[in-house]
Structure 1
Amino acid sequence: MNKTKSGADIGVYGLGTMGSALALNLADHGFEVAVCNRESDWVTAFIDEAGPLAPKLTGTKALEDFVKAIAQPRSILFMIPSGEPMDEMIEAITPLLSEGDTIIDGGNADFNATRRRSAAMAESGLHFVGMGVSGGEEGARHGPSLMVGGSDHSWQQLRPMAEAIAAKFENDPCVAHLGPDGAGHFVKTVHNGIEYADMQMIAEVYGMLRDAGGQGAHEIGALFERWQEGPLSSYLIEVSAAALQSTDSRTGKPMVDVIRDQAGQKGTGRWTLIEALKLGQSASTIEAAVGARGWSSEKDTRLMAEPLSAAGVQDVDMPGDDDLEMALLVGRILAHAQGFRLLSAASEEFEWSLDMARISEIWRAGCIIRSALLDDFADAFRSDLPAGHLILAPTMRARVADSIGALRRVVAAGVSLGVALPALSASLAWYDTMRRGRGTANLIQAQRDFFGAHGFDRVDEEGKFHGDWNALP
C-alpha cells in the first residue's frame, strides 16, 4: 500500500528481547523503523547498540513523537505483555491515530481479546492485527514464523515487511494472512499447544531411557542426534540432543542433571485446552502435556511418595531404540492431528476459512515445532481427506499403520515398568477411540437418563427417548 507521506515504514513499540530482535530484523531488510519504549532510556541504548543498522532506526521517547514518525497509513507493532497492558496502550494511542492506521499485537494474546479489540477499533476506522510470532529471540532476529489475523487492508500494509523478515523454506516465506480478527492468535495458541505435546513426548522417551533403561544424559542425547537424521528430524529433537549432551561447567555433570525437574508454563497450553473444550473437541495429548507440567510443580510430594508407592511395578524388557523412535513419530502425528482438528472446528465456528495446508507450510521454518513431517501434513491436507481428519488421509493412514504397533509396545512397557507416559498414552487412547465405529458413550447416555432423565437418541428411530430402567434393589 502506498504511504501518503514520508516517515518510517513501521513503528515498533516495546524493546524487550522479541521487540528488539524484530526491529533489527526489519531494519536489516531495508525498512525504516521508528522505535519507542515505556522506559525511554532503553531507546538510546538500543540504537547505540544497533551498529550499522542505526541509520534505519528512528528513536522516540514520547508516544506522540513515535506516532508522528511513522508514514501514513501507519503500521505499529506492539511487543508488550498481553492483557491489560495492551488495552491500556490502545486507549493511550488511539486518539493519536488516523483512519486506516493499523495496530499489530505481536504478543501471545488470548484470541478472544483480539477479536474484541478488532471489532472495537473497526468502529473508529482503525485496524487491529493479532500476529502470532514463533521462533524465540533467534527467530525474531533472523526469520520467525508469522501467523497473521486481521483485515485485508492491514495485511496489504504489512505483507511486504512480513514476507521480507519471515523465515524462508525453499524461498517460501513462512507467513500467511490466515483470516480476520483473532485467527492469527488462535493458530499461534494451537501451535504452542502442539509444542507442549511434542516437548512432553520427547521428555517421556528420555525418562524411559533414563529410568527404565539406565542410560545417561549424554548417551540419550547421542541417540536423539541419530534420530535427527531420520523421520523424527525437527528443531525440538535437535534442541533436545544438544541439551542432553551439554555439560555443566560448575560440576562437570550433564547439564540436565543439575536442573530441578519442575517445568513452568505461560498459559498458551491451557488456552488451547479451554478453547478445545468450548468447541467440543479433544486435545487430550496437549492436556496430558499441560497436566504433566502441573504435576512437576509438586516436587516435594513426589519425593515423599517415591519410597511409599512402588507396588505393582513389573520387570519387563525395555523397548528397543527403533520402537521408541517410531512411538515418538506416531505420537507426534497424532498430537498434530488433534491440533489441526481444533483449528478446523474454530475455523467453522468463527468463519475464518483457515487453510490447514498453508498453516503446515508456514510452520516448516522459523517456528519451534518445525519438523520434517510438516511437508507431509501439507500434502495430506491437499489430498483426499475423509471428514477433514488428518489421520484419515491415505499417506497418514499408512504412516500410522507402520508405527502404531511400536507405540502400543512402548506404552505397555511404560505401564508395566511404572514409567509415566501421559502424553504418549493419551495419543494412543485418542487414536483407539477414533478408529472404532462403535464406542461406549451409549452406556454413559444410559447412566445419565437413569439418574437424571436426560434422554437419549436411539439407533433405530429418530427423536429423544427415555429408557425402561430396572429399579435399584
Structure 2
Amino acid sequence: MSTEAVGDFGLIGLAVMGQNLIMNAADHGFNVVAFNRTVSKVDRFLDNEAKGKSIVGAKSLEEFVAKLKKPRRMMMLVMAGKPVDDFIEAILAAGAEPGDIIIDGGNSHFPDTNRRTKYLQEKGIRFVGTGVSGGEEGARYGPSIMPGGNEEAWPYVKDVLQSISAKSDGEACCQWVGDEGAGHYVKMVHNGIEYGDMQLISEAYDIMKRGLGMSCKEIGDVFAQWNKGVLDSFLIEITRDIMYYNDEDGTPLVEKILDAAGQKGTGKWTAINALDMGQPVTLIGEAVFARCLSSLKGERIRASERLTGPTPSFSGNKQEVLDNLEQALYASKIISYTQGFMLMEN
C-alpha cells in the first residue's frame, strides 16, 4: 500500500459503526484512511463494502499516520477504557506530531476524557472526545455528534463532523459542546435519558400485558397509534415492531426473551454523577435500578414462589386506561428529559 499523504480523515476501528462512519464520510467527499488492529478486517472492508469509494487502508498505524494530510484528523471507535489509552500511545509512537488531532468517538467516561485532553495538550496534540448517537444506521446516514475537548481542534474537525452528522431543519446535529470531557458528558446524560425512556416504555407494556390482559398484537396496535401523536419517536416505533414480530412457530418472540436486562454503564454513570452533584435525577436512577433488579433472575424466581400475590384482572373501561397511560408516559418522558437537562445545566 502506498504511503502518500492522501487522506483527509482517518478512522481506527472497523466494527460496523466504524465501517459505516467511514462510508458516510466518503459519501460526503472526504478521502478516508481506514485501520484496524486485525489487518485482515481492513482487506475485507476494502474488497467489499468500501469497494469503489474514496477509502484506502493501512496495514500499520505508522502507515495510517503517514497517509493522512496535516494536520492529521484521526478518529478512534474502539472500546472505552484501556484500549483508548493504548491506541493514543500507539498513535503517538507511530508518528503523530504537534498540531495533529485525535478524536475518541466511543462511550468514554468523561473524567477519562478530561485526563486525556490535558495529557495530549502537553504534547501538542489536540484531543476531541465526542459522543456519537444513532446506532449503526445513524453512523451510515447521519448520527448526532457531540464534540468536546480542546477547542483549538474545532475549526479543523467541524467540516467533516458536521458533514456526516444528521440534519434537522437544515441544521447539522453537531455543535461544539465545551472543553475537556463535555462532549462525552452530554452523551452520558443522553444515554441516561434513553435508559429512562426504555424503562417507561417497559412499564407501559407491563400495564397493558399483565394489568389489562392484552395480547402482543393488541399492544403493538396501541404503540402504533401512539407513534402518530405526541409520543412519536424511534423507541416507540421499534417497540411497535417488536410487539408485531413473531418467532418461527408463530408466537410473539418478545415473550421468549429472558427478562434480565444488561447495561453498558452510561446510565449508571449518570446516576452516580447526579448523586455527586446533588441533583434529583430520580427517574434515570430508578431505571438503572430496574435493570439491576431484572438481572436478579434467580432471586426473583425464589421470591415469587413464596410471595405469589394476586392475579391481575381488569373489568373497567380499557380505552380510558389506555388514554391515561399515553398521557402518563408523555408526562414521565418530560420529567426524564427535564431531569437530564437539569443535570447538564449544573
Is this a same-fold pair by TM over 0.5? yes
How far apart are 1:311 and its partner, in Å?
4.7
Partner-residue secondary structure (3-state), 1:177: coil
CA distance, structure 1, for counterparts of residue 335 and residue 128 of structure 2: 31
- What's 2:161 paired with? 162
Any conservation in 2 of the 1:24–1:53 contact (CA below 8 Å)? no
**Is the aligned partner of 1:197 residue 2:193?**
no
**Structure 1: unaligned runs, 5 residues or longer:** 346-473
How far apart are 1:18 and its partner, in Å?
1.0
1:298-323 residue CA offsets vs partner (Å, 9 max, x unmatched): 12222222242245888775661110
How far apart are 1:135 and its partner, in Å?
0.6
Higher alpha-carbon Rg: 1
Q: How many residue pairs get matched?
A: 339
- What's 2:150 paired with? 151
Any conservation in 1 of the 2:142–2:165 contact (CA below 8 Å)? yes
Compared with structure 1, are the counterparts of its residues 133 and 51 closer, same or farther at alpha carbon in structure 2 (3 Å cutoff)? Answer: closer
**Is the aligned partner of 1:327 residue 2:325?**
no
Quick one: percent identity of the two aligned structures?
A: 42
Please give the TM-score of this superposition, normalised by the length of structure 1.
0.70
Alignment of 1:206-285 (within 5 A): 206-249=205-248, 251-285=249-283
- What's 1:336 paired with? 337
CA distance, structure 2, for counterparts of residue 37 and residue 92 of structure 1: 13
**Is the aligned partner of 1:176 residue 2:175?**
yes
- What's 2:55 paired with? 57
How far apart are 1:151 and its partner, in Å?
2.5
CA distance, structure 1, for counterparts of residue 150 and residue 118 of structure 2: 11
Give the counterpart letter for 1:146 in structure 2.
I
CA distance, structure 2, for counterparts of residue 19 and residue 92 of structure 1: 19
1:313-350 residue CA offsets vs partner (Å, 9 max, x unmatched): 887756611100000000000000110010011xxxxx
Any conservation in 2 of the 1:60–1:66 contact (CA below 8 Å)? yes
- What's 2:77 paired with? 79
Please give the TM-score of this superposition, normalised by the length of structure 2.
0.94
How far apart are 1:53 and its partner, in Å?
4.0
Any conservation in 2 of the 1:149–1:178 contact (CA below 8 Å)? yes
- What's 2:90 paired with? 92
Compared with structure 1, are the counterparts of its residues 62 and 276 closer, same or farther at alpha carbon in structure 2 (3 Å cutoff)? Answer: same
CA distance, structure 1, for counterparts of residue 239 and residue 153 of structure 2: 38
- What's 1:306 paired with? 304
CA distance, structure 2, for counterparts of residue 73 and residue 208 of structure 1: 56
1:214-235 residue CA offsets vs partner (Å, 9 max, x unmatched): 0011110110000001011111
Partner-residue secondary structure (3-state), 1:176: coil
CA distance, structure 1, for counterparts of residue 134 and residue 92 of structure 2: 30
Partner-residue secondary structure (3-state), 1:98: coil
Give the counterpart letter for 2:233 in structure 1.
S
CA distance, structure 2, for counterparts of residue 294 and residue 330 of structure 1: 24
CA distance, structure 1, for counterparts of residue 175 and residue 135 of structure 2: 18
Compared with structure 1, are the counterparts of its residues 286 and 330 closer, same or farther at alpha carbon in structure 2 (3 Å cutoff)? Answer: same
Any conservation in 2 of the 1:285–1:335 contact (CA below 8 Å)? yes
CA distance, structure 1, for counterparts of residue 57 and residue 113 of structure 2: 28
